Amino acid sequence: MRTTWRRSMCYWFRSPEVSIALLAHRCLHRAGSGNGVSGQEHATQSRDAPSSNQRLESRRPPSKPVFLRDVSLSRVEGIRVGHVQSLSLVPGKVHEMRTLSLKPLLFEIPGFLSEDECRVVMQLAQLKGLMESQLMVQEDQEELARELNLSPEEIFNLLDNNQDGQLQIHEILTHSRVRDGIWLTPENLREIYAGLNVDKDGNGLLSLEEFRLLSNDAFQRFLLQRGVERSQLVRNSRHTWLYQGKGAHQVLQDIKARVTRLTRLPPTLVDLSEPLQVVCYQEGGHYHAHHDSGPVYPETACTHTRLAANTSTPFETSCRYITVLFYLNSVDGGGETAFPVADNRTYDEVSLIQNDVDLLDTRRNCDKSNLRVKPAKGTAVFWYNYLSDGKGWVGEQDEYALHGGCMVTRGTKWVANKWINIDPDYQRQAHYQQLVSQQPEDEDDGLTLSPDMQGTDIHQDL
């Protein structure tokens, strides 16, 4: 019975998209701390006893050949909010790029795509066909639950951020708000509490004893009873993917080349990243706030390099170093890209939901975001999802890159996303590129800069 409960509760943990890695990390490193041990104290204890991380490490195969790093990742300087730089991205034209925020490092480039290019991309997406962009629980969640093996007390302690012995609604929603792609609101939780009679004293807080009365079935019954509308989904849109490699439509290849010049990254990194994603939001469409990439811990692997890593790590995340978002049309109403905590002095997950004002909810609270970018045809917005490690490579996740798509109130919204995938572990990234390119390991690490990209700077201050 206890095993089933553990499995169902871990299955219940489902934050938007990639944050599953963060939850897994917390589960692994806070498990067993039901006595209120802090993260720092728990880390100290782990020096004397084998940790979950160490147990995972012991199952890993021998390391791959070491690749010597001879390339650094260029990062565009933001200087200050409002700063404008000129770009030479295509012959005979100068683009202006404005800094929108420094946390995350975020830029806007009007006219990045021409009207014809926007039209072609939308037509190609329609020709290929779009699918529903529903987010569902991953199929390997039961394996995840077995790896974590958490008791009710351990889960309670994981969620109890301030360690006061009671769970507030925002503490639960911060980490456990998505169930089978359905976005749970504070009102939803109160309905569940009332229906199951778990909040005995009616104070809106759950003690450990009250928390024990919750189960995975509670959410299933709730969803079955009230039904599911599109407005309740985490993401209400349709999308498709367009290949940009050799043989692809010339417009798609041109966009990829332009992105390479914009980001000043080695072409190989851009070539081996995800295809172009095209998304269509109808009236009422939205995407609640999320991170495009997750933090990478020893227990996680990047989705794009996982096979190359060949490790037993049970968790994976999308390692998207840069997001480049293109607006393919101007929207009649709504549809802004919101950055709820851009340039905040501090970042705190729990404070995202205060007094029932949920900054992650792009259907109701987009106007409370620190920054909103209005869709304008041809405009590109790009930002870094990771910080620099200070040594020319990928560092920690930039939590301020939290963003979402505000609800379209009138008309239709078309966007495209180009993600550049880079593994923060250089050895895994280099090994992945060597495997994909099928080049001998002693000839090329796959990260060399092309001659026309070396020693040039296309970014000039105005």
Quote the pTM value.
0.78
For residues 306 and 184, the model is more confident at 306
- 460: closest CA among 94, 164, 119, 91? 94
Q: Is 453 exposed, middle or buried (0-12, 13-18, 19+ CB in 10 A)?
A: middle
- In this structure, of 46-50, 237-241, 245-249, 362-366, the range with the lowest mean pLDDT score is 46-50
User: Rounded mean pLDDT of 183-192?
Assistant: 79
3-state class of 96 per DSSP? Answer: strand
pLDDT given for residue 371 in this prediction: 98
Q: What percent of the chain has pLDDT over 70?
A: 70
User: Rounded mean pLDDT of 278-300?
Assistant: 91
- 273: closest CA among 282, 284, 263, 286? 263
User: Rounded mean pLDDT of 376-401?
Assistant: 97
pLDDT tier at 319 (50, 70, 90 boundaries)?
very high
Ordered alpha helix ranges (H), 129-215: 141-148, 152-159, 169-176, 186-196, 208-211
For residues 58 and 189, the model is more confident at 189
CATH topology (fold) of 84-134+233-461: Jelly Rolls (2.60.120)
Q: How many CB atoms lie within 10 A of CB 425?
A: 19
Under 8 Å between Cβ of 291 and 18 = yes
For residues 213 and 128, the model is more confident at 128
How many Å from the N-terminal Cα to the C-terminal Cα in the chain? Answer: 66
pLDDT tier at 138 (50, 70, 90 boundaries)?
very low
Q: Is 30 left (phi over 0), alpha (psi -120 to 50) or beta?
A: alpha
Residue 222 in this model has a pLDDT that exceeds 80? no
Q: Quote the CA–CA distance of 177 and 187 in Å, as a whole number.
A: 12
Please give the mean pLDDT across all residues of the chain. Answer: 79
pLDDT tier at 369 (50, 70, 90 boundaries)?
very high
Residue 446 in this model has a pLDDT that exceeds 80? no
Look up tokens 């072609």; give the residue. Answer: 120
Residue 430 in this model has a pLDDT that exceeds 80? yes
| Residue 221, C-beta contacts closer than 8 angstroms, at least 6 positions apart | 195
**Token reading at 111:** 């006219």
pLDDT tier at 49 (50, 70, 90 boundaries)?
very low
User: Rounded mean pLDDT of 24-40?
Assistant: 40
Ordered alpha helix ranges (H), 31-113: 39-45, 52-58
Residue 52 in this model has a pLDDT that exceeds 50? no
Q: Is 168 exposed, middle or buried (0-12, 13-18, 19+ CB in 10 A)?
A: buried
Q: Quote the CA–CA distance of 261 and 277 in Å, as a whole number.
A: 19
Residues of the chain with CATH 2.60.120.620: 84-134+233-461
What residues are paired with 326 via a beta bridge?
A: 380, 416
What residues are paired with 323 via a beta bridge?
A: 383, 419
Q: Is 270 exposed, middle or buried (0-12, 13-18, 19+ CB in 10 A)?
A: buried
Residue 20 in this model has a pLDDT that exceeds 60? no
For residues 294 and 377, the model is more confident at 377
User: Rounded mean pLDDT of 333-345?
Assistant: 97
- 69: closest CA among 325, 429, 422, 316? 429
Q: How many CB atoms lie within 10 A of CB 43?
A: 12
Residue 358 in this model has a pLDDT that exceeds 50? yes
User: Rounded mean pLDDT of 212-229?
Assistant: 66
Residue 46 in this model has a pLDDT that exceeds 60? no
Residue 54 in this model has a pLDDT that exceeds 50? no
Q: Quote the CA–CA distance of 169 and 183 in Å, as a whole number.
A: 14
Which pairing describes strands 300-302 and 315-317: parallel, antiparallel, or unpaired? parallel
For residues 251 and 180, the model is more confident at 251
Residue 412 in this model has a pLDDT that exceeds 50? yes
Q: Indicate the residue type of 367.
A: D
Q: Quote the CA–CA distance of 351 and 312 in Å, as a whole number.
A: 35
Q: Can you say whether the dihedral through the CA atoms of 31, 32, 36, 39 is positive or negative?
A: negative
For residues 316 and 286, the model is more confident at 286
pLDDT given for residue 70 in this prediction: 79
DSSP H or E segment with residue 212: none
pLDDT given for residue 31 in this prediction: 38
